[in-house]
Amino acid sequence: MTAVYAQRMAKAGKEGIILCGRQFMNSLDDSSLEEIKLAIREEPWLLDYFDIGDKYIRTKNGRIKYTFSGLDRSIASIKSKSRILLCWVDEAEEVIDAAWTVLIPTIREEDSELWVTWNPRSKNSATNRRFREETDPLYKIAEMNWRDNARFPSKLERERQRDLNNNPEMYDHIWEGGFLKAMAGAYYAKSLQKAKEDGRISVVAEDPLMTHRLFFDIGGTGAKADAVSIWDAQFVGKQILVLNHYTAVGQPLATHVAWLRNNDLGPDKAQIWLPHDGDANDKVYDVSYASALKGAGYAVTVVPNQGKGAAMARIESTRRTFPNVWFNESTTEAGRDSLGWYHERKDEQRGIGLGPDHDWSSHDADAYGLMSIVYEQHDKQSKPMTDPYRHWQDYG
């Protein structure tokens, strides 16, 4: 594509450079130089217009030249480049916001263009936020995939089919351009994929006769505090209806309570379950989550510590209960992203697992695991589950 653009510009009498950039490029070996050479050579009619050397590409009339640059180390030098007709940034998922801030103003000509290609990984990446969420009418977004490649090789088709059958949780990201929702060793990726296939991630309405059960993982206040996570669910027969999800970092308890009330989850409709540290005093304020939430009018149950191996107990409980779960799609997306990411740490040298990785996803996963533990405890007893003020010890 860049070669066709260069040929057209050269024929039109334009003069300048085509800048090919990537976030990380230590040498020409890391650039798209060889890829562009191959593309030109595969189109014999283009060869008549280009002079191709070991380390350069330019049009035979000398008007258009290619140059290659890494955006991590060479970003400042790009400012001094002569007239940039086209800038193509490939593998752009890795490009940070600071690099875009410097690069874009260097493409100064009124008729110049910026092409950005990448396989999306995170909706929060600088590239996704800057381009896919932009509403400027001059931005043109095109989704291209394996099915758009008229020369898609049979070897890659075999790989695609293999991933479709054996690696379904990663297939959408690898082959269809979906965001990366699962890590290698992710605990719940296959369960989420199965829920999607079964239609259990959809529009889920609350049962007006049933209690809303709010499951917390508690953090604290201050910029460096852990996240507070809340899952809103109802237990209806054997089903778990997961209706809503919330997370926040560094906010006071009043903010979380305000979210509950704004979502019609006041003490008259909802009961709260806290992990074992819910009775501990907050690091900033001399009050526990349990006492503060009781003070706000909620019925609160603090789930006892499951002791050594509690994290794996939550994981196994979650895996067992997943077939019973229905997610309200629009309000639980961020939480499901966390569940899909939650994964095991690995000791690569010894090839052994080290338990759950404590990262951005773990607070949502812990709160969800608490829900699974409580559900299985409730499911063991024969009493109705409709009383919003029945406590944990009643089910022992």
- Predicted confidence (pLDDT) per residue in 232-281, tens digit: 999 999 999 999 999 998 888 899 999 999 999 999 999 999 998 655 54
Say whether both 235 and 130 belong to one domain: no
Say whether both 86 and 221 belong to one domain: no
Q: What does the block give as tokens for 36?
A: 């562009």
Q: Which residue has the tokens 């460096």?
A: 224
Residue 351, domain CATH: 3.30.420.240
| Residue among 335, 379, 322 nearest 200 (CA) | 322
pTM for the predicted model, two decimal places: 0.59
Say whether both 138 and 267 belong to one domain: no
Confidence at residue 40, expressed as pLDDT on a 0 to 100 scale: 93
Say whether both 94 and 231 belong to one domain: no
Q: What does the block give as tokens for 312?
A: 């794996």
> Long-range CB contacts (< 8 A, 24+ apart) of 122-129?
122/93, 122/179, 122/180, 123/179, 125/93, 126/95, 126/96, 126/97, 126/100, 127/92, 127/93, 127/95, 127/100, 128/93
Say whether both 259 and 384 belong to one domain: yes
Q: Tell me the pLDDT band of 354, cut-offs 50, 70 and 90.
A: low
Most confident of 113-122, 321-330, 353-362: 321-330
Query: Domain count of the chain?
Result: 2
Task: Let me know if residue 111 belongs to a domain.
Answer: yes
Say whether both 10 and 79 belong to one domain: yes
Question: What is the crossing angle of helices 154-166 and 168-176, to 10°?
Answer: 150
Q: Give the residue-averaged pLDDT of 367-373.
A: 96
Confidence at residue 222, expressed as pLDDT on a 0 to 100 scale: 45
- Return d(Cα 118, Cα 226) in angstroms, integer: 32
Confidence at residue 89, expressed as pLDDT on a 0 to 100 scale: 94
* Torsional class of 96: left (φ above 0), alpha (ψ -120 to 50), beta (otherwise): beta
Task: Show the domain range for 8.
Answer: 2-142
The residue from 93, 127, 142 where one domain ends is 142
Say whether both 137 and 214 belong to one domain: no
The answer to whether 353 touches 343, Cβ cutoff 8 Å, is no
* Average pLDDT along the chain: 85
User: Residue 299: what residue type?
Assistant: A
Task: Let me know if residue 370 belongs to a domain.
Answer: yes
